[in-house]
Amino acid sequence: METLKVALLGAGNVGAQVARILLEDADALAGRVGARLALTGIAVRDVDAPRAVDLPRELLSTDAEAVMAGADLVVELMGGIEPARTLILAALASGATVVTGNKALLAEHGPELYAAAEDAGVQLAYEAAVAGAIPIIRPVRDNLAGDNITKVLGIVNGTTNYILDAMDATGASFADALADAQRLGYAEADPTADVEGLDAAAKATILASLAFHTSFDRAHVWCEGITAITAEDVAAARDAGYVIKLLAICETVPANPADQGASDGDRGVAVRVHPTLLPREHALASVRGAYNAVYIEAEYAGSLMFYGAGAGGVPTASAVLGDIVSSARRRVLGGPGVTESVGAHVTPVGLEAVVTSYAIGLRVADASGVLAAIAAVFADHGVSIETMRQSTHTDGAGDETAGAQSEGDGERAGGDAELRIVTHRALDTALRRTVEAVGQLDVVHEVTSILRVEGA
Ligand SMILES: NC(=O)c1ccc[n+]([C@@H]2O[C@H](COP(=O)([O-])OP(=O)(O)OC[C@H]3O[C@@H](n4cnc5c(N)ncnc54)[C@H](O)[C@@H]3O)[C@@H](O)[C@H]2O)c1
Ligand SMILES: N[C@@H](CCO)C(=O)O
Ligand code: NA
């Protein structure tokens, strides 16, 4: 039986597990590939660093280029842009197949790397880059290649889902929940990428590019993270029947915002990542812990849902191993692999064409006429209110008022009241202007939170 040499770059949370499984399951994997997979070297920063898995010391080296020399497959699990980019380009140029889980790199330099793979006639596989263990890259790129995807809605970051879920379920603080996510191996080396939404935005860039057959750039993606979400936001969402999730949303929208409501006209695609209120009965609302889920709407397939472990060393290693086996098998059998299709050239559109609704938290003067003044600003901007809940700071009691009505105004003079408003759907720009105008009213002391609502 032929032997294929596998070089591994990085032995952290994911890389160490990939190495372990390559060694432990060598016979089973050989049967699936039709060749033995020989792990010939592992590039690490420090050969003496403690690791979750004991790896043969003779395989470890701090010289990544030497580790890659002569490899048939290079598996990059170092993360970061450099030296990962340079090493992958060198591996592809040498004719090696490359498997990576590096979404940050693909979101920034994907087109360059895909072209290098195509030029070299080798595969670049990256199933682990989006939603960890969940098969999503190949389903979107290959299985749905004959359909027309119209919407992708995903919980694609395990760390933030873990944090938001813990805040919702146990009242945990943001900091404690983040520390747990780091300990469990879900968070990136620098968790800023997770909590600021950058990791999800990178994944959204990759998904949008595949789903809409167009090369999207990270700069096309609107991105807001979860660092401003407070325990009060989570509690208010819960009281109103919602849960807060960080969603990546890619959807077709009119290319020209003025065409809202028209059934014809050019379509573009808007890609955004932000914390979102979801009704608790929504399918994505029940995605707990570090689990991920991606919901897809396609013209012919209808609605599809992909669910599973979106992060963690062992589950993510599953996606990496899948890519290793399938691309190694292709090396054994010969022939070019499937490549990205980017010929559709749809127009990337910003948030200005997106129709959504807002959940707004306001701290207002608890006085007569305040609700009427706020409702008037909404009416002036053509934005209608679905629900308005009021509670005072002193007793936190809820008082629901449906619609933009002013009854219930100002029973309690003096002090502040907390208002939670959910709007009907409107253009994001109109909603933003409305909030700005409301924030300028004297009776509005603070805009405490602005969150978008989906699926209501
Ligand atoms: N952890 C997850 O759940 C998960 C899931 C999907 C994808 N990923 C991606 O997989 C990759 C690896 O993630 P991880 O969680 O294992 O990260 P990690 O930080 O645990 O591991 C990366 C390892 O690479 C090593 N490394 C970095 N630069 C190096 C260099 N120049 N030379 C040699 N070694 C170097 C580091 O020392 C570290 O041990 C990243 O791209 C990440 O985004 C991670
Ligand atoms: N840090 C990422 C790892 C998986 O890509 C997450 O939390 O989802
Ligand atoms: Na995946």
DSSP string, 83-140: THHHHHHHHHHTT-EEEE--HHHHHHHHHHHHHHHHHHT--EE-GGGTTTTS--HHII
Determine phi and psi for 378, rounding to 5 degrees: -60, -45
Nearest ligand (C-alpha, residue 155): 2
Separation between Cα atoms, residue 169 and residue 147, nearest integer Å? 38
Q: In this structure, which amino acid lies at residue 44?
A: V
Q: Which residues pair with 8 in a beta bridge?
A: 42, 75
Which residues does a 6 A CB cutoff place in the pocket of ligand 1? Answer: 10-15, 43-45, 64, 77-79, 83, 101-103, 128, 132, 185-186, 188-189, 311-313, 316
Q: What is the pLDDT of residue 188?
A: 81
Residue ranges, comma separated, of all CATH 3.30.70.260 domains in the chain are: 354-453
Positive or negative: CA dihedral 408, 414, 417, 423: positive
Separation between Cα atoms, residue 182 and residue 234, nearest integer Å? 22
Q: Which residues contact 277 (CB under 8 A, 6 or more apart)?
A: 237, 240, 242, 243, 244, 359, 422, 451, 452, 453, 454, 456
Measured in Å, residue 311 CA sits from the centre of ligand 1 at 12
Q: What is the pLDDT of residue 414?
A: 63
Measured in Å, residue 186 CA sits from the centre of ligand 2 at 5
Q: Which helix (H) or strand (E) holds 149?
A: strand 149-155
Quick one: tokens of 227? 């660092």
Q: Which residues contact 58 (CB under 8 A, 6 or more apart)?
A: none
Distances (CA, A) of 148 to 211, 262, 269, 294: 8, 19, 13, 16
| Nearest CA, atom 18, ligand 1 | 12
Cα-based torsion angle of the residue sequence 206, 209, 243, 283 in order, rounded to the nearest 10 degrees = -110
Residue ranges, comma separated, of all CATH 3.30.360.10 domains in the chain are: 137-309
**Between β-strands 97-100 and 73-76, what pairing exists: parallel, antiparallel or unpaired?**
parallel
Mutating to test ligand 1, I would choose from 192, 316, 318, 320 the residue with most ligand atoms within 8 A of its C-beta, which is 316
Residue ranges, comma separated, of all CATH 3.40.50.720 domains in the chain are: 3-132+314-333
Separation between Cα atoms, residue 342 and residue 232, nearest integer Å? 44
CATH architecture of 354-453: 2-Layer Sandwich (3.30)
Separation between Cα atoms, residue 125 and residue 327, nearest integer Å? 8
Q: In this structure, which amino acid lies at residue 442?
A: D
Please give the class, per CATH, of domain 137-309. Answer: alpha beta
Measured in Å, residue 319 CA sits from the centre of ligand 3 at 6
Q: Using CB atoms within 10 A of its CB, is residue 82 exposed (0-12), middle (13-18) or buried (19+)? A: exposed
| Nearest CA, atom 15, ligand 1 | 13
Report the interhelical angle of 158-170 vs 231-239 (nearest 10°).
70
For residue 193, which atom of ligand 2 is closest to its CA? Answer: 1
Q: Please tell me the CATH code under which domain 3-132+314-333 is placed.
A: 3.40.50.720
Separation between Cα atoms, residue 210 and residue 22, nearest integer Å? 29
Would you please indicate which residues are annotated as catalytic (active-site) residues?
A: 203
Separation between Cα atoms, residue 440 and residue 438, nearest integer Å? 5
Report the interhelical angle of 158-170 vs 174-183 (nearest 10°).
130
Determine phi and psi for 306, rounding to 5 degrees: -120, 130
Which residues does a 6 A CB cutoff place in the pocket of ligand 2? Answer: 132, 157-159, 186-188, 194, 199, 310-311
Measured in Å, residue 318 CA sits from the centre of ligand 3 at 9
Quick one: tokens of 89? 């380009």
Q: What is the pLDDT of residue 141?
A: 94
Separation between Cα atoms, residue 420 and residue 400, nearest integer Å? 9
Contact between 309 and 83 under an 8 Å Cβ cutoff? The reply is no
Question: What's the distance, CA 119 to chain centroid?
Answer: 30
ipTM of this complex: 0.99
Report the interhelical angle of 13-24 vs 313-333 (nearest 10°).
50
Q: Which residues pair with 18 in a beta bridge?
A: none
Cα-based torsion angle of the residue sequence 104, 106, 108, 111 in order, rounded to the nearest 10 degrees = 180
Q: What is the pLDDT of residue 407?
A: 37
| Nearest CA, atom 10, ligand 1 | 101
Measured in Å, residue 208 CA sits from the centre of ligand 3 at 14
| Nearest CA, atom 4, ligand 1 | 311
Mutating to test ligand 1, I would choose from 14, 61, 137 the residue with most ligand atoms within 8 A of its C-beta, which is 14
For residue 162, which atom of ligand 2 is closest to its CA? Answer: 7
Best CA proximity match to 226, nearest among 431, 454, 456, 451: 451
Measured in Å, residue 39 CA sits from the centre of ligand 1 at 18
| Nearest CA, atom 26, ligand 1 | 78
pLDDT < 70 positions in the chain = 335-341, 392-414
